[in-house]
Amino acid sequence: MPASHVFVILRREYRVRLRTRAFWISTFGFPLLALLIVTLPVLLLTRSTTSHRLVVVDTTGHVAPLLLERLAEREREGRRGARFEITLAAAEPDAAAQHDALDARVLGQQIDAWLRIDSEGLAHNRVEYRSDNVSNLLTQQLLEVELSGAVRRARLQEAGYDETAVDPLVRSVRLESVRVSAQGSRVQGGQAQFFLAYALAFLLYAVLAIYGAQVMNGVLEEKNSHVVELVLSTVRPLDLMAGKLIGIGLVGLTQLAIWIGLLLLVIGPLGAGALGGRLPNVELPVLDAGLALHFFALFVVGYFLYASFYAAIGAASSNLQEAQQLAFVAVFVLLASFMLFLPVVNDPDSTLSVTASLIPLFSPLVMMLRISVKTPPAWQIALSYALALGFVAFMVWTCARIYRIGILMHGKRPTLRELWRWARTP
């Protein structure tokens, strides 16, 4: 039983691409790389036990011992982070000479840094940290926290307060974000959800750009190798384009499905158990079925929108260089919608967010972002899909007409006017 042309073509596209090493390397290599990029620095930093040789010159005489006390407490509790090897130095009468001598010891690598705590600086809440490396932000942050604690303790003692009584009174509070949704409420870290939205938007952006380019390259290959002439002797151009778009789109869906599966493994119960313990203070986001469904649906909408454009570009160009110049338009629009990430995530109901999520060129990415941070009103989701689908139909129709004529054209690049004429040719 002969299969339809569209099916035969899409099966070829799908199989040929799935059989390439590049597909499997990118499918598993990309998440692995992303995982490493996210977790490795954190793991390495939190496990770092570098001993930081620090000289403390304390002219007040009572902050440094408190600092030592706090750092010792830290050590006893086994908390992770940098360790300090502190030497207390008495303030010398010639402050400038001591300053120079300690700087020289830093430069001579005898110590890593030195601090000068004096009442003048403390009056302005300042302590000078001098080192030949000031980019060790985590070490400085830790020192800053402990030093602040020590200074606070010293000030309370000086003012005659009982520190143990005051301490609980001045603790900071933490905002615990609870996401309220139709499915129920749950405690959810804002940061975690922010990163999930970012990851999904980036994935969508990447696959739309990558698979759009694959369509364009595929069309160009067919055109330049002249195999298209052989295929078109039995297949209508529209069937060829449809088969190609669907086949490559299915490859993209397969890759996305694997990625989402892996993401669920990492942030799901299995991964959370394995990773949660190892990454202190790392809260994992929640990817629910509804969001995953929207993600795939918006990929399909966005893919047909951009891929049909890429197909027309491939058909209208004679070589890769020409095609890439035209493809810049698509990349620019995609990038523009990705740039809307921060304003949309921060305020998903703003006029900007709502408008952008209704404009078909932006809606796949922007609507996905909106849904991932806060479910928008149903009518907005429906309108966004409807407008995008209508625009997809228009794009596919127009691009198919350009494709039909361009695929057999060789030589000079068509002008915009010529492309418009092709699109209007019945």
Nearer to other proteins, 66 or 407 (CB): 407
Cβ proximity of 167 and 261 under 8 Å: no
Cβ proximity of 216 and 327 under 8 Å: yes
Nearer to other proteins, 3 or 37 (CB): 3
CB of 225 to other proteins, least distance (A): 4
CA distance 129 to 102: 12
Question: In terms of DSSP H, where are the helices of 159-268?
Answer: 163-166, 190-224, 227-232, 237-267
Nearer to other proteins, 33 or 408 (CB): 408
Query: CB 185: neighbour CB atoms within 10 A?
Result: 9
CB of 212 to other proteins, least distance (A): 20
3-state secondary structure at position 125: coil
CB of 397 to other proteins, least distance (A): 18
CB of 419 to other proteins, least distance (A): 14
Among 198, 207, 58, 180, which residue's Cα sits nearest to residue 119?
Answer: 58
User: Looking at beta carbons, which pairs linking 57-60 to residues 24 or more positions away fall under 8 Å?
Assistant: 57/89, 57/90, 57/91, 57/98, 57/102, 57/114, 57/115, 57/116, 57/117, 58/88, 58/91, 58/117, 58/118, 59/91, 59/116, 59/117, 59/118, 59/119, 60/117, 60/118, 60/119, 60/122, 60/154
CB of 20 to other proteins, least distance (A): 8
Nearer to other proteins, 1 or 175 (CB): 1
Nearer to other proteins, 128 or 229 (CB): 229
Enumerate binding residues for other proteins (CB under 8 A): 1-3, 5, 8-9, 12, 16, 20, 221-222, 225-236, 408
CB of 132 to other proteins, least distance (A): 55
Q: How many alpha carbons fall within 13 Å on the CB side of residue 235? A: 23
Nearer to other proteins, 385 or 403 (CB): 403
Nearer to other proteins, 4 or 350 (CB): 4
Nearer to other proteins, 5 or 99 (CB): 5
CB of 233 to other proteins, least distance (A): 4
Nearer to other proteins, 20 or 346 (CB): 20
User: Looking at beta carbons, which pairs linking 150-154 to residues 24 or more positions away fall under 8 Å?
Assistant: 150/63, 150/64, 150/66, 150/67, 150/69, 150/70, 151/63, 151/66, 151/122, 151/127, 153/66, 153/70, 154/60, 154/62, 154/63, 154/66
CB of 16 to other proteins, least distance (A): 6
Please report the beta strands in 90-196, taking only residues with DSSP state E, as ranges in sequence order. 113-117, 128-131, 178-181, 184-187
Q: What is the DSSP letter of 78?
A: T
CB of 400 to other proteins, least distance (A): 15
